[in-house]
Amino acid sequence: MLDVQGVRSSTLLAPTTYNVMTMREAFASLICFKHIRLAAEMINVNGEEIEVLAGQTCKDVLAQVLSGKKFKSTVGCLCDGMAMDLSREVPASCQEMEPIFLESKQGLDLVRHSAAHVMAEAVKELFPTAKVTIGPAIENGFYYDFDYERSFTPDDLEAIEKRMSASIAANQPFVRTEMSATDAKKMFLSKGETYKIEIIDDLGADTISLYTHGNFTDLCRGPHLPSTGFIKAFKLTSVAGAYWRGDEKKPMLQRIYGTAFATSKDLKKYLFLMEEAKKRDHRKLGVQLDLFSFCDEAAPGMPIWHPKGALVRAILEDFERKEHLKRGYDLVQGPILLRRELWEKSGHYDHYRENMYFTEIDGQSYGIKPMNCLSHMLIYKSQIRSYRDLPVRYFELGNVHRHEKSGVLHGLLRVREFTQDDAHILCRPDQLQDEIKGIITFVQDVMGLFGFEYGMEISTRPKNSIGSDEDWDRATRALQDALDSSNLEYDINAGDGAFYGPKIDVKVKDALGREWQCATIQCDFTLPERFDLVYIGEDGARHRPVMLHRVILGAVERFLGILIEHYAGAFPTWLAPVQATILTVTEVHNEYAKKVLSTLKAAGLRVEADLRNEKLGYKVREAQMVKIPYMLVVGEKEIEQNCVSVRLRNGKNLGAMPLDDVIELVTADSLEPFKKGGMSYTIY
């Protein structure tokens, strides 16, 4: 409980633990829990007007409108949009109530958060000296962090699962109680749970809420399932290290991850996808396909590109340059280092410096660029611009560096050095809508090329930001209007914009249904003001342009990591570093193979030849392992007929084909993905 302006109220929002509670959430909760209901009132319950009496619980009320399977699958409720336990008394201010069903997203959040508590109970029973910290629900699962003297093993996880199953079978109710902060600290201190003491101190609340099931009590604002028996299907998946509160200076804890679903069928499907994800792991495939490597002794978080990986990058970047030129962008390039004063002027030094690297040259401090916008503004400012010159569109495949903590580095998906397909558009306010729509079309074309489904969301002003409310409102409306007029659906991601402006984030869905944030469109009225960017209008006066920051792929490295997993390493033919390999039956056929190799290379195909004195079956298997689209077998028959026998990487045999037909086949296969979007492709 928080004592706010004399009113005590629990904060019952999305299931999580106290360490992420904000004061804004606490105040919001007052709307729902300010008064005790004194008499009967009518409220809207799942679309029906129902009389609610004083003292009735949410479960009592829902029982009047739900029955059978629906009522049995109800695990919580929403009172005016706030999640609550079924056992809670209906708040006096509640005007509308909806059930939370087990299989809904909110229901799964309750399942997963409750499963985290059951896991903590099991760990405490099996390992009494372990200290519990926090245990929230996360996307597709849950975790709990523990401070324990040794590492948890796979056998430990198995034992924890077994103990959890016993708790679930006992169908223990989750019971919410309230206690003064002083008494709660005494209780947790008596149990040696020092992390809970720290959380309570940080809350600064007079009264807090606790949840108990069986013999386990946890500091938590809830809500939870009615009982442990509602956890139908769960699995502990892994153990990882995690610093307390993400601070490298604080103790390293052990984080046990798990997942839970409404049904065993859903759990099995998820676990299958997770196994498939392991097979597609880009770090594993990167080694198998000889694309890239990392060397911590040289530069942690900075990939080293091998010949095949560098070639894939070159193909992708060449495609991007051509597409940008075709769409009216100019190619530019800025320096890696810029004076600190410029980063102070832009606001990056105040709002982003913890992610930047700095160095000193001749007594002057320089920042290594984490993004490319400053140089692009300097290019714009290098000459007087007329309203007739706008829009200007600057595109740079800019190499940037950002300081990421070592614990979050993850292959190509989270690196310290990467290349952004970065562009900045400076335009008149009356051109803004068309420019945003043009970027959206560009994104749609490119994502369609790779076969990605995608969704969009608008991220609004964060707390740590610059610029006026008026400019932020103008920028946000511009993004919303562009999406609305394009008949595109989008979500609102409150408070997650860039520090200088709101943005549209594009989230792509890969072959396994996982979401990745790639393209972004940021609308910025603030930096043009700070850098005094102007154009001369038709009236002869100075006017301020608007700047759009945007990427299509995002970080090239990260996008390639996503592509590797999306395609399971089997790049489409246009992007494959080796499109075909020539396999000889014996060394006798090597001379003919070399002639075939020369002919196909001259036609622009990316081809190699395996002339080793190995069995043909071995060569075929190796070519399939590295995902080469076409295998061209050369033996005595092929020499006699002046052809090659064509096999595909999926095992299909196309039989003997003349070289001209092979060239046409590979070329057509490369061009196929580009037909829908009207984009061009030149064989590299």
Asked whether the predicted pLDDT for residue 121 surpasses 50, the reply is yes
pLDDT at 6: 32
Residue pLDDT, tens place only, 651-676: 999 999 999 999 999 999 999 998 86
User: Is 292-334+369-566 a domain of CATH 3.40.50.970?
Assistant: no
Residue 27 in this model has a pLDDT that exceeds 80: no
The confidence band for 37, taking pLDDT boundaries of 50, 70 and 90, is low
Q: Which of 120, 86, 345, 321 is nearest to 226 (CA)?
A: 86
Confidence band, pLDDT 50/70/90 cuts, at residue 249: confident
pLDDT tens digits for range 401-454:
999 988 789 999 999 999 999 999 999 999 999 999 999 999 999 999 999 999
518 carries an active-site annotation: no
CATH superfamily of 580-674: Anticodon-binding domain (3.40.50.800)
Q: What is the mean predicted confidence (pLDDT) over 501-510?
A: 94
Q: Is the pLDDT of residue 587 over 90?
A: yes
Q: Per the residue annotation, which of 85, 145, 421, 422 is the catalytic one?
A: 422
Residue 49 burial (CB < 10 Å; 0-12/13-18/19+)? Answer: exposed
Does 180 have pLDDT greater than 60? Answer: yes
- CB-based contacts of 611, cutoff 8 Å, min separation 6: 584, 587, 590, 593, 594
Catalytic residue among 59, 113, 131, 549: 549
Residue 487, pLDDT score: 93
Q: 28-42, 242-256, 351-365 — which is least confidently predicted?
A: 28-42
> What percent of the chain shows pLDDT beyond 70?
93
For strand 607-610 and strand 503-509, is the pairing parallel, antiparallel, or unpaired? unpaired
pLDDT bracket for residue 47 (50, 70, 90):
confident
pLDDT of residue 46: 86
Two tokens, residue 115: 């499963």
How high is the pLDDT of residue 246?
A: 82
Q: Encoding tokens for residue 169?
A: 């079978």
Residue 420 appears among annotated catalytic residues: yes
CA dist 215 and 8 (Å) reads 28
Query: Rounded to an integer, what distance in angstroms lies between the CA atom of residue 573 and that of residue 650?
Result: 13
Examine the residue annotation and report whether 461 is marked as an active-site residue of this protein.
no
Angle at 677 between CA 676 and CA 679, to 5 degrees: 115
Most confident of 110-124, 457-471, 483-497: 110-124
| Annotated active-site residue in 88, 112, 124, 402 | 402
| pLDDT tens column, 161-173 | 999 999 999 999 9
Measured in Å, how far apart are the chain's first and last C-alpha atoms? 65
Q: Specify the residue for token string 């608007």.
A: 546
Q: What is the model's pLDDT at position 12?
A: 33
24 is an active site residue: no
Active-site pick, 88, 213, 414, 503: 503
Clarify whether 268 is annotated catalytic: no
Mean pLDDT value across the chain: 91
**Rounded distance between C-alpha atoms, residue 43 and residue 547, angstroms:** 48
Bridge partners, residue 522, by sequence: 503, 549
Strand-pair partners of 392? 426
The residue with greater pLDDT, 633 or 51, is 633
The domain locations on the chain are 2-103, 106-271, 292-334+369-566, 580-674
pLDDT value of position 676: 67
Residue 9: what pLDDT?
34
Q: What is the pLDDT of residues 56-95, one digit of tens each?
A: 999 999 999 999 999 999 999 999 999 999 999 999 889 9
Give mean pLDDT, residues 538-558.
96
Spatial separation of the C-alpha atoms in residues 284 and 292, rounded to whole Å:
10
Q: How remote is the C-alpha of 311 from its chain's centroid?
A: 26
User: What's the whole-number mean pLDDT along residues 625-642?
Assistant: 96
List, for residues 349-396, the tens digit of each pLDDT value. Answer: 998 899 999 999 999 999 999 999 999 999 999 999 999 999 999 999
| pLDDT band, residue 644 (cuts 50/70/90) | very high
How big is the CA angle at 183 (ends 195 and 188), to the nearest 5 degrees?
30
At residue 445, the 3 state secondary structure works out as helix
Residue 113 bears catalytic tag: no
pLDDT at position 40: 66
HSE value, Cβ hemisphere, 13 Å, CA-based, for 627:
21
HSE (CB half, 13 Å, CA atoms) of 651? 0
- Is 3.10.20 the CATH number for 2-103? yes
Q: Active site residue: 58, 77, 79, 373, which one?
A: 373
**Which one is catalytic: 106, 172, 254, 420?**
420
Is the confidence at residue 10, as pLDDT, over 60? no
pLDDT digit string, tens, across residues 281-337: 999 999 999 999 999 889 999 999 999 999 999 999 999 999 999 999 999 999 999
Give the CA radius of gyration of the chain. Answer: 30
595 catalytic? Reply is: no
Q: Distance (Å, rounded) from C-alpha 469 to C-alpha 479?
A: 16
| pLDDT tens sequence across 133-148 | 999 999 889 999 999 9
CATH number of the domain at 106-271, please?
Answer: 3.30.980.10
